[in-house]
Chain A
Amino acid sequence: MSRVWSELRRYPTAVAGLAIIGLLVAISIYTVIAIPYGEAIRLWRGGEGVWSENPRNARPIWFNLLPGVELPRTITVSSQRAPRRVEAVGGGVKQVTMSLAFDFPYRTFPTELAVFFDAAYAERAPHVVLTWQPPDGSEIRLGEFTAEPHGIYRISSDQRLRQTLGGAPEIVLFSAPAAPQHPLRGRYTLTITGFLFEESAHLDARLVVYGRAHGLAGTDDQRRDLMIALLWGTPVAMAFGLLAAVGSTVSTLVIAAIGVWYGGWVDGLIQRITEVNLIVPAVPILIMIGTLYSRSLWIILSVVILLSVFAGTKTYRALFLQVKESPYIEAARSYGAGNLRIVLAYMLPRAVPVLLPQFVTLIPSFVFLEATLDIVGLGDPLLPTWGKVLDDAYRAGALFGGYYYWVLQPAALLMLSGLGFAMLGFALDRVFNPRLREL
């Protein structure tokens, strides 16, 4: 073992491969601890309010490191930190005036504007009036309506406002009439005047000025932070790849060894099953099962293993046929070793030099298989994986929309994992099979 390690160290590709794999494993461990499975599923499903404060299709924030790129971040102003005036205006009605002010320093317009309300009341909902004050001193009335307990007023989607302003609100509200191409930089204030009709009523609001950049990996069209999927995709890929590789390799080995050792009809049967297996196409079967039966990851994994178990027996069979004739096997029989012991303790270990490199290079093919199934639409619907991200991106027309990061990030991770295992696998192959070194 130590000999293998010292040999391996001499290959830069092996060291690089191991580093990549180590990184991926570290990410997996971190992810599973930091974002537990249940949490990840909940987050990815989205739904009520989970992602509503994220911008849609936002680039990763590190894009701002690129020269000439300046993407606005999302600005959130909460009424709980803003000045508030409460006055009684008679008749048990209270007037709450909140001034949500912020500085807008960017050269590009925000993507959306929304106000999130948090109203508490018994029967009569508060009445709310919104006024917008850009830095140039003007004042624009946005509208008035009844607040709901968790209402969202999406300023940018307000069609009436759009008509009144004569353009998209997130643009018009941020530009000077004289120079509509660039946003006006400076201090903006949204004044919310609320009329509360009950003693115990309460009103809070949050203004969100959606930017164009969010998170380390950006967001998708459902406002989901892509980092969740990229992070969670790692342990899924690793686990699937590893388990599938282990499961199929070990089974293949044992089956091949048993066939060779027992010979006769056992061998014949195994060979016939192998031949059928080689002809049967795996992906169409997986598609069938996924479409007609179940898309659960564990079911798919089991089917994948089952389908690959018999396919590899021929390679090991050739090796074991040779090993079977070895004098030491004869010697083992002569001191009483039983059949099972011979197969497991005397034949299987000979397969390790062939097995180990093959196994390592097999892992990425299973990783890609899982991603393929996702892209075809047959992945586990709940789990956020790299393939899933690619699937979503494809369906949303990411490349047409110019959201390259959406596609490239998971693709890069897939390639990286494949590369890491491939490099390690090839180096292992050279260590175990010295004759390949001359190539």
Chain B
Amino acid sequence: MPDEVLLTVRRLRTWFELRRWGFVRVGFVRAVDGVDFELHRGEAVAVVGESGSGKSTLAKTILGLHRPRQGEIIFEGREVGGEKDLRRYRSRVGYVQQDPYGALPPFMNVQRILEEPLAINGEANPGARMQRIREVLDEVRLSPVEDFLPRFPHMLSGGQQQRLVVARAMILRPQLIVADEPVSMLDASVRIEILQLLRGLQARYNLSIIYITHDLSTVRYFCERVFVMYGGMIIEQASTDDLLRNPQHPYTQALLAAIPDPDPENASRVRVVPPGEPPSLLSPPSGCRFHPRCPAFMKGICEVQIPPDFEPAPGHRVACWLYDERGQGGPPAPSRA
């Protein structure tokens, strides 16, 4: 069922307390500051942003590694709240991390690494465990399986390590995989291997995937929808095609304009880059977080209030005052802040 909603995230905020000298609270780092979206079964969604946009924190909050300060995460119809829910939830969500070597305990061999999630989640029968381990290693094409079982992470190549991480993420038969920059530490020629692997798994098991990345070029090969994050908020949501063809938010436009393709003409062009730096999550700018750098800045509105989501085209949402159909200066629609 392509339209069944697997995961709903509403008004999610993850703030980190900043303390000085251990107990004087100085303020909050607002890593995720009001995120809403829906994820369908079998859908691959990219969360794109630069460092400091909060995308990693969003991923970890969805995984249950951070406690949100506010907001709801509703998975398979049930809200994920207390400890008990969290345990069950965690076994339905797989995590693929950025650093393949760091994600694997160096003192455990392949078999042990894959056994751990099974043992922790109650699979006591060693025979059943081994069977599942073999299945999953086959799935990620680390075969012959017997060869790989006794190996330690440092005996595997980067690509193989990442396959193992994917295997570990898949071993509990999750419904959702959160992949945080899964290929950015791999060589160019190995990246596609892993992306194709994930794509294949998605198709075969009707998996939903949240793919966190800063590299928009890979998104096209992999995801149906894209969320663009800036300053802890999602500022644009659209289908991949739509976003790449008609980016609406000025930040998205700048982002796309800054990405080079391998083209010799690049050497003679100068790219337009928005001035300034990504906003501080501790003391973010008032109103729209992008306004200090925005070429389309409208004084009197942009720095005053955080824009809500507008929908200039079906399925394409932008959090930008430029798309306020009622014209500038009118009373704002119910904001989501």
Contacts and interface: CB of A to CB of B under 8 A. Distances in A.
Within the complex, are A and B direct neighbours (CB within 8 Å)?
A: yes
Interface of A: 326-328, 330-338, 341, 345-346, 349-350, 352
Contacts of A336: 87, 90-91, 117, 120-121
Main secondary structure of the interface of A (DSSP, over half): helix
Interface string B180-214: 00000000000000000000000000000000000
27 contacts: A327-B99, A327-B102, A327-B103, A328-B102, A328-B104, A328-B105, A330-B60, A331-B95, A331-B97, A331-B165, A331-B168, A332-B105, A333-B65, A334-B65, A334-B93, A334-B95, A335-B94, A335-B95, A335-B117, A335-B172, A336-B117, A336-B121, A337-B120, A338-B120, A349-B105, A349-B107, A352-B107
Interface in B96-132: 97-99, 102-107, 116-117, 120-121
Interface residues of B, number: 26
B63 A334 contact: yes
Nearest to B105: A328
A331 to B, nearest CB: 5
Nearest to A323: B105
The 4 closest A-B pairs by CB, nearest first: A327-B102, A335-B117, A334-B95, A349-B107
Nearest to B22: A268
Contacts of A345: 116
Contacts of A328: 102-105
B21 to A, nearest CB: 13
A327 B168 contact: no
Contacts of A326: 102
B64 interface: yes
Contacts of B116: 332, 335, 337, 345
Given A335-B95, A345-B116, 4 more contacts: A334-B93, A337-B116, A341-B120, A350-B107
- Interface core residue of A328, A331, A337, A345 (most chain B CB under 10 Å): A331
Contact of B98 (A327, A337, A338): A327
A328 B106 CA distance: 9
B121 to A, nearest CB: 6
Contacts of B105: 328, 332, 346, 349
- Interface core residue of A330, A335, A345 (most chain B CB under 10 Å): A335
A136 B64 CA distance: 105
B61 to A, nearest CB: 12
A335 B168 contact: yes
Contacts of A327: 97-99, 102-103
Contact of A334 (B64, B99, B104): B64
A352 B108 CA distance: 13
A341 B121 CA distance: 13
Contact of B65 (A330, A338, A341, A349): A330
Contact of A331 (B64, B87, B103, B172): B103
A335 B97 contact: no
Nearest to A352: B107
Nearest to B60: A330
A333 to B, nearest CB: 6
A333 B91 CA distance: 11
A349 B104 CA distance: 13
Given A326-B102, A328-B103, A335 B91 contact: yes
A298 B96 CA distance: 51
Contacts of A334: 63-65, 90, 93, 95
Contacts of A341: 120
B102 to A, nearest CB: 4
A352 B168 CA distance: 25
A330 B103 CA distance: 8
A89 to B, nearest CB: 91
B97 A330 contact: yes
A45 B64 CA distance: 68
A335 B103 contact: no
Contacts of A333: 65
A399 B121 CA distance: 69
Contacts of B106: 350
Contacts of B63: 334
Nearest to A330: B65
Contacts of B64: 334
B240 to A, nearest CB: 27
B108 to A, nearest CB: 8
Contacts of A337: 116, 120
Contacts of B104: 328
A335 to B, nearest CB: 4
B182 to A, nearest CB: 12
B90 A335 contact: yes
A338 B106 CA distance: 19
A197 B120 CA distance: 91
B114 to A, nearest CB: 11
B45 to A, nearest CB: 19
Nearest to A332: B116
Contacts of B90: 334-336
Interface in B150-171: 165, 168
A351 to B, nearest CB: 10
A337 B86 CA distance: 12
Contact of B121 (A331, A332, A335, A352): A335
A90 B98 CA distance: 113
A336 B94 CA distance: 11
Nearest to B165: A331
Interface string B36-80: 000000000000000000000000100111000000000000000
A338 B120 CA distance: 8
Contacts of B102: 326-328
B245 to A, nearest CB: 35
A331 B64 CA distance: 11
A70 B116 CA distance: 72
